Structure 1
Amino acid sequence: MRQLTFKSGSSSYINVNQGKSILDVANWRSNKIDYGDLDRFNRTTTVTGYLEHRNLVRSSTRTGQDWRPTGWHQKAVTMNGRKIEILNRGHLLAYSITGKFNKNGQYDVSELGSLDNPKNLATQTEFSNQKTMQIFEEKVRDALEANKKVIYQVSTVFKGTDLMPIGYHLQALSTDKALNFNVFVWNVEPGVKFDYSTGRSRIDRSMKVTEQNK
């Protein structure tokens, strides 16, 4: 995936392995999150959650975050009459499915959810975070609401020594295998061109992304 390059007009995500996860339900042992260490460039790597219904939390309980992940260069732009901040502090595992875990990924009933954890935050575009990644986060939430146990793994994908990821590799598998996906989500924003080596950006009206809803 590191060799992939987004072409204007392409779909917002692509299936990997025909959309089927290569995770193994036999690895589900206990309710926890495995946070991968930051790499030598201080970049996020892989986070794997072994999730249950009790890990659901309301997004309204989330507070502010201050951590600046690698490649963080926020910019507000106006697109089609709408002013947007083009970058989000993107959670690899969404706040709303990380309830009752501490920063080490261990179950702790006093914790609300993952906040300002450098191992779980990357520089993500507004579109990638709020339009594309949300599709799959909702699938995971729905499975947890149905009392399924889910393995959900997210990896940031960087080219070389780039500071901003070109995308996110998402896989999920419920222990009953009813939930099963494997996708690569592009870290792109319509109308904006990024220099992934630094995270800096410029307006480019020719940049198009074909939005997918499922």
Structure 2
Amino acid sequence: MKKWLSFLLLLAVCVLPFAVHENAPVPVYGKTQIPAYEEVQKPYVEINGNKPFFKSSEYVTKSVENYASLDKLGRCGTAYAVLGKDIMPTEERGKIGMIKPTGWNQAKYEGIVDSEPPYLYNRCHLIGFQLAGENANPKNLITGTRYMNVDGMLPFENKVADYVRYKNKHVLYRVTPIFDGDNLLANGVLMEASSVEDKGKSISFCVFCYNVQPGVKINYKDGSNSLDVSAAKTSGTKASSAKTQSTKTQKAKTVTADNKAASAQTPASAPTVDSANYIANRNTGKFHIAGCSSVNDMKESNKVPYNTRDEAIGAGYVPCKRCNP
């Protein structure tokens, strides 16, 4: 792969009849060089010095949402919003399984993708559900790897959501999927945000999140994928080395499931909803202390049990603000 991938960042804002802007924000065009993921080895990279491309005229204090129409290939365009507490969701997220965004070529990778089941792809909201309450909107959902969704986009979404919710302020927000030519799967998304009332002093970022999954080869033309054998071998070697070291240093401790081949002890059983210390909500993306009142409000099908706080966070869940687990 070339050291640099040249993409045309079409930061186009769809013109829709919202009262906030008599004239919707004009499209911003920027041409930049985005380093290949292999050169970065991180879920995201800062673009334009981490400064968003917003114009001063866009800093308004009334909430708005604009979603570009799907193009001739059925692909999403730019999603733009002035986020405010008034448009944040008040109900749990509903089903989105009926939406099949372009490039949806699902597969499982046990031991590679950190989820259960270990599905490669998520239906990624351009503007996260927690920010604007948009659920099964096909103009707001793209095919994205779990790695991009959880390790790339989610930390930035959480940062913005916390600011809007607890400061009761507004944030300019724009997410643009970047497609190469007629490819059906995006190479990644450009995320921009800037706090409105203080002109970006509290919230300001401009990052590109890579639509990749370490250990998996992806064909961006159609989303097809296969195991990256070379990466799997490297990962296996590292895992074997780590296990050996762990065995040496953990002899006095309970043997974990990873070491069960070297021990006759039975590994700790997976937690149940009744025995777990923490319960995550797969709809809201938050986790709670088992005794939190919010747990009683969840549907049973949405409850995901965890023994430890680290396990829940590692799976991509964020702490509930009510019980502060």
State the TM bucket, normalised to the shorter chain: 0.7 to 0.9
Which of residues 118, 136, 161 is equivalent to 1:116?
A: 136
**Do residues 71 (structure 1) and 128 (structure 2) align?**
no
- Counterpart contact for 2:43–2:147, Cα < 8 Å: no
Q: Which amino acid aligns with 1:71?
A: G
Give deviations 1:50-75, integer Å, cap 9, x for gaps: 111222336x7111111100000111
| Counterpart for residue 65 of structure 2 | 33
- Name the structure with the higher strand share: 1
Contact 2:113 2:146 in 1 (8 A): no
TM-score when normalising by structure 1: 0.83
1:200 to 2:224 alignment: yes
Task: Give the distance between the partners of 1:188 and 1:85, measured in 2 at CA.
Answer: 13
Contact between 2:108 and 2:118, CA under 8 Å: does it hold in 1?
Answer: yes
Structure with bigger gyration radius: 2
Secondary structure of 1:84's aligned partner: coil
Q: Which residue of 2 aligns with 1:106?
A: none
Identity of aligned residues (%): 31
Partner of 2:193: 172
Runs of 5+ consecutive residues of structure 1 not aligned to the other structure: 99-112, 209-214
1:181 match: secondary structure: strand
The range that moved more, 72-81 or 169-178, is 72-81
For residues 49-60 of structure 1, the aligned pairs below 5 Å read 49-57=81-89
TM-score w.r.t. the length of structure 2 is 0.56
Distance 1:40 1:96, change over 3 A: same
Q: Which digits, 9 at most, give the CA deviation of each residue in 1:80-134, with x for residues without a partner? A: 6965111000000001111xxxxxxxxxxxxxx2121111000000111012111
Distance 1:43 1:79, change over 3 A: same
2:130 maps to which of 96, 105, 128? 96
Aligned residues of 1:25 and 1:151 also touching (Cα < 8 A):
no
Deviation per CA, 1:6-47: give whole Å up to 9, x if none: 327622111011111121353144311011111121100100
Q: 1:125 & 1:86 partners in 2: Cα distance?
A: 6
**Equivalent residue runs for 1:81-92 within 5 Å:** 83-92=117-126
Match of 2:163 among 143, 148, 151: 143
Q: Which whole-Å CA distance do the structure 1 matches of 2:101 and 2:107 have between them? A: 15
- In the alignment, structure 1 residue 22 sits paired with structure 2 residue 53: yes
Partners of 2:63 and 2:86 within 8 A in 1: no
Change (3 A) 1:81 1:43: closer
In the alignment, what sits opposite 1:212? none
What whole-Å deviation, never above 9, does each CA across 1:165-214 have from its counterpart, x for those lacking one? 00000000111112100000000112111000010000114179xxxxxx
Equivalent pair of 1:92/1:122 in contact (CA under 8 Å): yes
* Alignment partner of 1:134 out of 154, 168, 175: 154
SS for the counterpart of 1:130 is helix
Distance 2:146 2:113 in 1: 16
Q: Out of 175, 185, 201, which is 1:154 matched to? A: 175
Corresponding position of 1:11: 42
In the alignment, is the contact (CA less than 8 A) between 1:25 and 1:173 conserved in 2?
A: no
CA–CA distance in 2 between the matches of 1:182 and 1:9? 16
Name the SS of the counterpart of 1:168 in structure 2.
strand
> Distance in 2 between the 1:130 and 1:183 partners?
15
Runs of 4+ deviating beyond 6 Å: none
- Cα deviation, residue 140, structure 1: 0.8
Aligned residues between the structures: 193
Cα 1:62/1:7, change in 2 over 3 Å: same
Which secondary structure state, in structure 2, belongs to the residue aligned with residue 77 of structure 1? coil
CA RMSD across the alignment: 2.1
